[in-house]
């Protein structure tokens, strides 16, 4: 049977979800898998909810992931973790940044930022790995490295050698930021 793994990466426009999906996609291609990565460009990048799909396996047809189909949700922000929860298969894994970014209705005071989201998600039988990726990224040298910290945290849970991730990082990241990102990946891996 054709086994395909589906990873949904969700965040807020500007958080660097695209780079995360490229690192994952490249690593899986190097491992010999067929890979499809679906990106979002254009208007929704401006601070809105953004989602990227990465799928790999023997043969991947559709580039998108629908509700009830994801094996892993890599969430860059708490509210986005909750928003894309319906995309997970029952019993799947969530790797999530603990960071909260207020959306416009919360900013303007017409809505409250929901509390206790991870606890509610765990109650549904989802394995939650919560990572304070912002602090770790800052520790690595830049708050912008949240994406690579999270890739590190997710990579640790997958059954691939660390070297393939470091190789993918080298391929996908600009050389001048490589050292910083290697550190960010390591902090995520250890988190």
Partner 1 sequence: MKKLLLGNEAVARGLYEAGVRVASSYPGTPSTEITEAAAKYAEIYCEWAPNEKVAAEVASGAAIGGARSFCAMKHVGLNVAADPLFTMSYIGVNAGMVLAVADDPGMHSSQNEQDSRHYARAAKLPMLEPADSKECKEFTKLAYELSEEFDTPVILRLCTRVAHSRSIVEEEDWMERDLKPYEKAPAKNVMLPAFAKGKHPKVEERLLKLSQWAETSGINRVEDNGAPISVVTSGISYQYVKEAMGDRVNYLKLGMVYPLPEKLLLDFGKKASTLYVVEELDSFLEDQLKAMGITVVGKEKFPRCGELSQKLVRKILCGEEAKSLSLDASLPVRPPAMCCGCPHRGVFYALKKEKVMVSGDIGCYTLGASAPLEAMDTCICMGASVSALHGFNKARGETGSEQRSAAVIGDSTFIHSGVTSLIDIAYNHSNSVVIVLDNSITGMTGHQQNPTTGYNIKGDPAVSVDLEALCRAVGIRRVRVVDPYDLKAVTAALREELAAQEPSVIISRRPCVLLKYVKHSPPLSVREESCIGCKACLGLGCPAISLRDNKAWIDPTQCVGCGVCSSLCPKKAIG
Closer by beta carbon to partner 1, 126 or else 148:
126
> Does residue 29 touch partner 1 according to CB under 8 A?
yes
From the list 150, 126, 125, 116, the residue with the least C-alpha distance to 136 is 150
What DSSP element (H or E) covers 83? Answer: helix 78-83
From the list 56, 63, 54, the residue with the least C-alpha distance to 31 is 56
Going by the DSSP 8-state scheme, the letter that residue 161 receives in this structure is: -
Residues 123-142 that bind partner 1 (CB under 8 A): 124, 126
Query: What is the nearest approach in angstroms of partner 1 to the Cβ of residue 148?
Result: 18
Q: Cα(26)–Cα(103) distance, rounded to whole angstroms? A: 31
Closer by beta carbon to partner 1, 69 or else 167:
69
**Which position among 45, 98, 129, 135 is part of the footprint of partner 1 (CB under 8 A)?**
45
Residues 142-161 that bind partner 1 (CB under 8 A): 143
From the list 83, 75, 79, 81, the residue with the least C-alpha distance to 114 is 79
What DSSP element (H or E) covers 155? Answer: helix 146-157
Residues 75-94 that bind partner 1 (CB under 8 A): 79-80, 82-83, 85-90
> Does residue 64 touch partner 1 according to CB under 8 A?
yes
> Does residue 109 touch partner 1 according to CB under 8 A?
yes
Backbone angles phi, psi at 161, to 5 degrees: -65, 150
Closer by beta carbon to partner 1, 53 or else 185:
53
Residue in the block written with tokens 């298969």: 89
Candidates 47-55, 151-159, 174-182, 183-191: pick the segment binding partner 1 (CB under 8 A): 47-55
How many residues interact with partner 1 (rule CB under 8 A)? 61
Q: Cα(110)–Cα(143) distance, rounded to whole angstroms? A: 29
Residues engaged in binding partner 1 (CB under 8 A): 2, 12-14, 22, 25-26, 29, 34-49, 60-64, 66-69, 79-80, 82-83, 85-90, 102-109, 111-114, 117, 120-121, 124, 126, 143
């Amino acid at each position: 049977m054709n086994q395909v793994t589906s990873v949904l990466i969700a965040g807020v426009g500007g958080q660097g979800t695209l780079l995360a999906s490229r690192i994952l996609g490249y690593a899986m291609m190097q491992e010999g898998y067929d890979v499809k990565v679906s990106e979002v460009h254009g208007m929704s990048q401006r601070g809105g909810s953004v989602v990227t799909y990465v799928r790999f396996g023997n043969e991947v047809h559709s580039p998108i992931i629908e509700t009830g189909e994801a094996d892993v949700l890599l969430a860059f922000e708490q509210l986005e973790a909750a928003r894309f929860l319906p995309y997970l298969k029952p019993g799947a894994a969530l790797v999530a940044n603990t960071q909260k970014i207020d959306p416009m209705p919360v900013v303007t005071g017409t809505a409250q930022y929901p509390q206790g989201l991870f606890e509610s998600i765990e109650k549904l039988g989802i394995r939650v790995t919560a990572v304070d990726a912002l602090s770790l990224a800052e520790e690595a040298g830049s708050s912008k490295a949240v994406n690579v910290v999270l890739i590190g945290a997710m990579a640790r849970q997958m059954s691939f050698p660390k070297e393939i991730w470091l190789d993918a990082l080298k391929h996908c990241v600009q050389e001048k930021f490589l050292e910083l990102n290697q550190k960010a990946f390591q902090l995520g891996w250890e988190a």
